[in-house]
Structure 1
Amino acid sequence: MQKYLRIALLLFGTIATTMAFKNRPNYTAVTAIKHNVIATPAENYATYCSGCHGEKMDAFTDRQWKHGNKLTDLMKAIKNGYADEGMPAFAKTFSDKEIKELSEYILKGIKNVEAYNFDDAPVSNIFKSDKLTIKLDTIATGIEVPWGMAFLPDGAMLITNRHGELYRVKDKKKQLISGVPEVLAEGQGGLFDVLLHPDFAKNSLIYFTYSKPKKVNGKLLATTAIMRAKLNGNTLTDQSIIFEALPYATTRHHYGGRMVFDKGYLYISVGERGNEKQNPQSLEENQLGKVHRIKDDGTIPADNPFKDKAGKATSLYCYGNRNPQGLAINPLSGALWENEHGPRGGDEINIITPGTNYGWPLTSYGINYDGKPITDKATAPGIQAPELYWVPSIAPSGMAFITGDVYKPWKGALLVGSLRFKYLNLCYLDGNKIVSQEKLLKNIGRLRDVRVGPDGYIYVAVEKPASAVYRLVPVQ
């Protein structure tokens, strides 16, 4: 009997929402339940609400509130319900005191979300943080979606525009480079990252990730691919495709596309293309929702952790990733760090190790965009938990570790761009542990990439509304 009662509570225990129940039946009031033990608000949420709204309350609160999100609004919704919208009344389940405490508990999550609603746009190029004041030096403008950056030995920069252009920028002047691959610039697709070969000074090789199109039976498909080419002046030559993530898909999102070299190996992030049920946990002939490791010519290292049916090594390095948008090597530990987009809540920072399962969609700290839970587990045996997760989702992008002494108070910290909330996230570290965070450059724009250049300065690529690349200069 207790088993069926628990199931009933999980099915009917819900708090106000207008988005999650469009296809659900209209529930009636929950039967009165007398508490033998006084439960905490968190326990009541877990028992009565999480079955419909997800384990993490903060993820649920990151939504539009049709009937208001003030204390009185929440109390009214919980007590009386909105039967036509699938929200039952809890007047017979909770006392007025319990309803108020549960509403106050939910308000904590709302306030956490509202903490990312920054003030108006910046009024100057000077930004103050807890430990340092910096000013923005504009390096390039007029690049609509500057997705990736790389630094040439002569002091110039390479900057990709997601719509399909590559620019060389020097002395704040940009020149278009010819010979870039054809991209499918639809949805989240386009020209992504750019990376120099470790021996670029000798071989002039550069690498691009991009959404590679292909027509199959009249359908236009795409995947995440890598092209290698030689840079001769402002022209690319000797182009060759060294990696294509299979299978191709009809969707236009979750490409991943970040790259990093380490010890001669090239690591590539590939998103699951919006098909979480099939791709990220599949290890057979499926390269989507993973991080890969290849050699600089596209061949596969024999010691990669996964093998095919014939016993031959594959490019897969780890799996269970949703949409990885940042890769960086920690210069102190040598470890590969990654960030990835969660759904509504549950963006992650992970330390990547070979053969590891990072959980998506078996575990998640977020819920789906329609308000429904994706999974009832945030952690599980055999799955690596993230080093950090964000609720609400900040939509992380590029990432970089701060080295050198240009920014002494920040030395050794990790930087992550935020697309959604338009700022630069600073993570202070103690070894491999993230111990605190700070929000920099608030409202600067959708921060797409962040790199530390060979000159020791931080560079950020910003889209909408700025569409610019800036260098961060400390103010004495």
Structure 2
Amino acid sequence: MVLKRLTTSLLLVLTVFLVGFTLFRPPGVGADEIIETQEHQLRVITLVEGLEHPWGLAFLPDGRMLVTERPGRLRLIVDGELKSEPVAGLPEIVAVGQGGLLDIALHPRFTDNHLVYFSYAGRGEGGIGTEVARGRLVDNRLEDLEVIFSMEPKSNARQHFGSRLVFDREGFLYITLGDRGEMDRAQVTDDHAGSVIRLHDDGRVPEDNPFVGKPDFKPEIYTYGHRNIQGAALHPESGKLWTHEHGPQGGDEVNIIRAGRNYGWPVITHGVQYVTGARIGVGTEKEGMESPLHYWVPVSIAPSGMAFYTGERFPNWRGDLFIGALRDRMLVRLRLDGERVSEEEHMLEGTLGRIRDVRQGPDGYLYLLTDERRGVLARLEPADP
């Protein structure tokens, strides 16, 4: 009888363990499982596991990868293995709410100068705000660290830090910022919140920025009226900067960034107030403000990360725009007809997790990061017959 009770207890413990493992393990698919999409069959290959809320990804010329973790660690992946020791030499990073270590980008001449740029929540007068620093990558350390941009004013809000980093073809650096959850700030032009910033690679303000020399404008501002931009990429043909931003309840947007324009938040939006569903601002259009190229209503997809596909691995996807979606844990593909979205496809729903970043690798594959406590780096590979 005692032996029977012990056996029953062991079986119960084992059952609880297996159920718990099933419930709490990261979602995913087997390497041999084929996923059908409208244009291609593909496989999802998990390359690295155990990343803590990864946010941004960069490919080094020698095949290594850099991944940011929001709690404040920069990690190196070498030969497919995650190095146990984080990259040293980062500044103090404040990991609160949606803030922490965010995006990462390489200098256009990285092979010559080894400069790495990253955005993060930093502390200063008045609270915290998005900052951008750069350092020279030497082995597993950043040297000659310098902060090249510091958001002003700072506040104690815990959300809407942005932030993506993109270099254009002329070598200018674009920094996307959120409104910090204080929506009226997006229309205040001597405030960095809710704007796209444009700088030289060393942090100097370009003389041809649209608001240089104008009173009541921060000269770093390139566009304003944004809520929270967490995706940005250069169009492969035009070289224009495309972005997407979170709406409130509904109203997530895709925009093309044009110098000096006001993108309307919170005066115009296709979204509504949480809980009450009340209208925000004056409606969806207003003279002198930019309407989005594409938007999602009535439900947000919570977009984060984006990339245009230009590779050879998935020929039917060339020219399409890919957007990670935190809500519904999916990847969104937009087919474009010039500056118009002609088709939308939702893929990988519930397959991986909350997709935080999307990048095309030098090898022509698509790479995804999942924003989870045990996030993963995954690669999409074709499985077409």
Structure 2 Cα separation of the partners of residues 439 and 170 of structure 1: 32
Cα–Cα, structure 1 residues 123 and 204, in superposed 2: closer, same or farther, change >3 Å? closer
User: Does the 8 A contact of 1:445 with 1:465 survive in 2?
Assistant: no
Residue 346 of structure 1: which of 231, 239, 251 is its match?
251
Could you say which residue in structure 2 is the equivalent of 1:181?
91
Q: Structure 1: state its 5+ residue gaps.
A: 1-120
Cα distance, 1:123 vs. partner?
5.0
State the match for 2:137 in structure 1. 231
Give 2:264's aligned residue.
359
C-alpha RMSD over aligned residues: 1.6
Partner of 1:107: none
Counterpart Cα distance in 1 of 2:295 and 2:68: 28
The counterpart of 1:301, out of the listed 189, 195, 206, is 206
Instruction: Find the residue that maps to 2:323 and give its secondary structure.
Output: strand
Match of 1:201, SS state, is: helix
Please state if 1:431 is matched with 2:338: yes
**Equivalent in the alignment of 2:37:** 129
Mapping for residues 231-310 of structure 1, pairs under 5 Å? 231-262=137-168, 263-277=170-184, 279-284=185-190, 286-308=191-213
Residue identity matched to 1:283 = T
Q: Which amino acid aligns with 2:292?
A: P
The answer to whether the 8 Å contact 1:303/1:313 transfers is no
Secondary structure of the residue aligned to 2:187 is coil
Q: Distance in 1 between matches of 2:344 and 2:216?
A: 44
CA positional deviation for 1:375: 2.3
CA distance in 1, matches of 2:374, 2:69: 14
Distance 1:312 1:438 in 2: 40
User: How far, CA to CA, are the matches of 2:225 and 2:124 in structure 1?
Assistant: 26
Query: Would you say the 8 A contact 1:189–1:210 is kept in 2?
Result: yes
Q: CA deviation at 1:230?
A: 0.5
The yes-or-no answer on 1:368 pairing with 2:273 is: yes
Where does structure 1 differ by over 6 angstroms across 4 or more consecutive aligned residues? 310-313
Cα pair distance change 1:250/1:154, threshold 3 Å? same
- Equivalent position SS for 2:164: strand
Contact 2:53 2:373 in 1 (8 A): no
| Pairing partner for 1:165 from 62, 73, 78 | 73
> 1:399 is matched with which residue: 303, 306, 320?
306
Counterpart amino acid of 1:401?
Answer: F
* Per-residue deviation, residues 66-110 of structure 1 (Å, max 9, x unmatched): xxxxxxxxxxxxxxxxxxxxxxxxxxxxxxxxxxxxxxxxxxxxx
Offset, 1:313: 7.6
Higher CA-based Rg: 1
Letter of the aligned partner of 1:204 in structure 2?
A: H
Q: Which residue of 1 aligns with 2:117?
A: 207
Q: CA deviation at 1:154?
A: 0.5
Distance 1:378 1:311, change over 3 A: closer
* Alignment CA distance shift 1:136-1:123 (3 Å): closer
**Cα contact 1:267–1:292 (8 A) shared by 2:** yes
Which segments of 5 or more consecutive residues in structure 2 lack a partner in the other structure? 1-26
TM-score (ref. length: structure 2) = 0.88
1:467 aligned residue (364, 368, 375): 375
- 2:138 & 2:282 partners in 1: Cα distance? 53
Compared CA separation, residues 253 and 313, structure 1 to 2 (3 A):
closer
8 Å Cα contact 2:52-2:373 kept in structure 1: no
> 2: distance between equivalents of 1:352 and 1:310?
22
Structure with a larger share of its residues in helix: 1
1:323 to 228, 234, 237: 228
Q: Is the 8 A contact 1:302 1:313 kept in 2?
A: no
Equivalent-residue separation in structure 2 for 1:375 and 1:310 (angstroms):
26
Q: How many residues align?
A: 350
Shift in Å at residue 192 of structure 1?
0.2
2:64 aligns to what? 156
Sort the Cα spacing of 1:123 and 1:465 in 2 relative to 1 into closer, same or farther, 3 A. Answer: farther
User: Which one has more relative contact order, counting CA pairs under 8 Å at least 6 apart?
Assistant: 2
Name the amino acid aligned to 1:133: Q
**Does the 8 Å contact 1:257/1:270 carry over to 2?**
yes
CA distance in 2, matches of 1:292, 1:215: 20
Query: Secondary structure at 1:405's aligned position in 2?
Result: coil
How far is the alpha carbon of 1:282 from its aligned partner? 1.1
